[in-house]
Amino acid sequence: MANRVGQQLGNYRLVRLLGDGAFAEVYLGEHALLGTQAAIKVLNALLTSQEAQKFQDEARMIARLKHPNIVRVLEFGMQGKIPYLVMDYAPNGTLHDRHVSGTPVPLNTVVGYIKQVADALQYAHNAKLIHRDVKPENLLVGERNEILLSDFGIAVAAHSTRTQVIQDKIGTLPYMAPEQIDGYPVPASDQYALGIIVYQWLTGELPFQGTDVEIITKHRHAPPPPLRAKVPSIPPMVEQAVLMALQKDPKKRFASIQAFAYALEQAYLQAIAPTLPVVTPTPQVISPTLPVGQFTPPNPAAPVAKMYPPMPTRRPGTLICKRDGNFQFMVWSPDGKYIASTANQYIYIWDAASGKDVYNYNHSNIVRRVTWAPDGKWLASSSIDKTIQIRASKTGKLEFTYTGHFGAVKDVSWAPDSRLIVSASDDNSVHIWDMLTGYAISTYRDTLAAAWSPDGAFLAIAGTTGIQILDRGSLHQVAHVAFNEQISGVLNLKWSPNSRFLASYQLSGRANINLVQIWDTRSGRLLFNCDGSSMIWSPDGAFLATWTKGSERQSGTEIPRTRPARRISRSPLPQQVVQQQTVLGTSQQPHDVVQIWDVAAKKNVYIYTGHRQQISTVAWSPNGARIASASRDGTVQVWNATSGNYVFIYREHGGAVLNALYSPDGTSIASLGRGNSNVSISINIWAAS
């Protein structure tokens, strides 16, 4: 090893050696002019001109990685034939230094580390980079004790989104996946290495030890020793998540490295749930979850412990602001500060507190749908003019217009990562396309509807014979839901919040019925049927609310149910509502009621019968405690989600109420309805109860 202390590489003078390895030496460097410090990695190789070009190409790609948990590459170059990289200096050492081998690391600490590392690796995988040397020595501790993934200097750009075959064997043997040992690393190889690290931290030792030949043989053929045999206090679900990440076949591991981190966190939270205090929840962060057919939680449909935020201090029904206009549609921004509403071909973005316009724009024909990207940075609007516009949400600046459809675009929705978009058109096609490039990734013909799973791992696409469940990364089919008969259309698809179940409403080609069906997305099996044509899941995914829109076909055929006789809720409603509350099947019509279903028990819990006319929409409060239903009887009724007991009624529209939506924080409700003249349509924002 050459002693390079005192030498200058680029703008940096090498001050002292920080560490060395098989591929490189790392020095503390000081900028000759600025006096700032950086880590200088000098590769132990003399490169040919062709190899130097490859190094520079890869260094440019690595330098583009900008993530809070990845060490930044500030500069790179060649000193003669010797390549070097200039990186941010992390002064607090590595996790290898912090946690001595042989000493287990607390589970909560491990979960915190893995969330940061997996987020960084997922970002790299999305950029077509495989790290290939994930180990504690390459996990640095930053100035604020954040974890920083380093040593992307040996990462390799994958040139195919499908195969990503690399014919090298770079890595550190105790952490190398079987396919990486054979020279064919894939993104799941980094997941395997991270699984080895978790095993090592939780038990205090590596799962596979011995000579190099013995370690290679064990990686390829031997199952890891059970973690609980070494440390019995490790929760079983945590052990199961780690062992799944260590599957020999990369296809049997989690669908993504972030899915592994999420499963590990959920297993940890389930283990400590009985000891958790009731606190105000932070906003939900959607993360990938478990792959199809694997790692089944003890009861995925069971509700989690509810943690209700404080109720608002404003009196229920207090008007916050009002907008008049011939509106057809409205949606809250993810942060709850703004409303996007449509009126024919115009879209208005306005402040939800004052009602004042931020900006507006238009299509050349009627707008069918407007939706915010989950990160709040973008707006997508679809129109009868066969186009979709993507705009910057803050300024309204048009980024591009998607023109791939040949018919009116009826729906558009974002993947939870705000990158991919799926759109459905009256031309009976569904397109998946990249928001950054505007290019279609895949097109599906003879399809009617599509929906992303909340975890972002899957996409459901409905056709006339069934529903395909596709893996988000590869777009390969992982499950299929087959209908018993040919249908004439699917009007609605809704995933459960835990991405475990799918509710669908489809129009049969022969039966004159309204029917919502609940499917197991891992097996494609029908769980049970519900009355209704529209549905919404509770925030915890344990319950489903269904109702029938009066303009759609009413039940004409008896459908077998897997549930006991229904129970009617007797809510303490105002007198004018009580006199209308009768048993379903007499004066009450199917489109006048909301039915609540327990998904795990596959039965109807109660029926809310407080409305006098057709129900337009139903909204569940974000904390799961309340339900708001809007009706053409001129009311929005808020009721207790558990018991069905009436809480509050809002009547200020005067005419039919067409929609009602809770704000993201649950403190207010936006309702869209007609006035007394039944001509103008206004949007009222008012305090929720």
CA angle 311, 312, 313 (to 5 degrees): 120
Is the CB of residue 440 less than 8 Å from the CB of residue 456?
no
Catalytic residue among 133, 151, 531, 633: 133
Identify whether 119 is a catalytic site residue: no
CA pseudo-torsion sign 439, 444, 448, 450: negative
Q: How many helices (H) and strands (E) does the chain have?
A: 10, 42
Tokens 């799962």, located at residue: 207
From residue 79, how far is each of 122, 354, 645 by CA, in Å?
Answer: 33, 61, 76
Q: Which stretches of 222-304 are DSSP H helices?
A: 227-230, 236-245, 257-272
Per-residue burial over 49-74, b = 16 or more CB atoms within 10 Å of its CB, e = otherwise: eeebeebeebbebbbebebebbbebb
Q: Would you give the distance in Å from CA 28 to the centre of its chain?
A: 40
195: tokens are 């699984």
Secondary structure letter of residue 152 according to DSSP: G
> What is the Cα–Cα distance from 314 to 686, expressed in whole angstroms?
9
What contacts 527, CB < 8 A, 6 or more positions away? 501, 518, 519, 520, 562, 599, 602
> What is the Cα–Cα distance from 22 to 43, expressed in whole angstroms?
9
Is the CB of residue 600 less than 8 Å from the CB of residue 517?
no
- End-to-end alpha carbon distance in the chain: 71
Residues classed as catalytic = 133
